[in-house]
Amino acid sequence: GAGVSQSPSNKVTEKGKDVELRCDPISGHTALYWYRQSLGQGLEFLIYFQGNSAPDKSGLPSDRFSAERTGGSVSTLTIQRTQQEDSAVYLCASSRGTGHTGELFFGEGSRLTVL
Amino acid sequence: SQQGEEDPQALSIQEGENATMNCSYKTSINNLQWYRQNSGRGLVHLILIRSNEREKHSGRLRVTLDTSKKSSSLLITASRAADTASYFCATVSSGGSYIPTFGRGTSLIVHP
């Protein structure tokens, strides 16, 4: 595809349910990032994948959050037992990943609302 | 934690005026990037400036970097209503982390 694709664009769920958010990065981009943006706030780093290396999970806020990247391409962010404070826009970005980080290409985000 | 912090938090100007936004950061960087976000959309990369550069231009955008003061500025000249958006700086540290750290952003409103 031409850009980073995220789905669903909107997700409303009940507290305690699990959700999965998907990110399809730009073809050939080896680096993939997940960020979270709460209303009117900046971007909070969650997790970073680079090629076949072990992901950097240092930004995940709790063990209810996990992510995987299959075949070095599509990534899924899973939030278990959702809480109201998980409500936010979840943004995925990819980059070429060579050397120090250059331009990130962002998807349109998945807006999660936990009732 | 936030590395870059933008200032001001909000800026309201008339079309045709210049808009200046500032970003301060704490640790040594490899590069600093500016992004734009329209309401409800993803972020779009505007410009990247490396630690050994002092100024870069792209169209109506001018970015400066002062590593001694750990600060950067984004100048938008001859602003247009379509420039209304939030603007974020992101820093990539020189310490080996490849994770851009974003500030809280400046909300710019350009009145027609």
Q: List pLDDT tens digits, range A10-61.
A: 999 999 999 999 999 999 899 999 999 998 778 999 999 998 888 999 999 9
Nearest CA in chain A to B96: A100
The reply to whether A41 touches chain B by the CB within 8 Å rule is: yes
B100: closest CA of chain A, how far (Å): 7
Which letter, b or e, does each residue of A28-55 get, where b requires 16 or more Cβ atoms within 10 Å of its Cβ? ebbbbbbbbbeeeebbbbbbbbbeeeeb
Classify residue B101 as left (phi > 0), alpha (psi -120 to 50) or beta.
beta
The residue-averaged pLDDT of B32-52 equals: 94
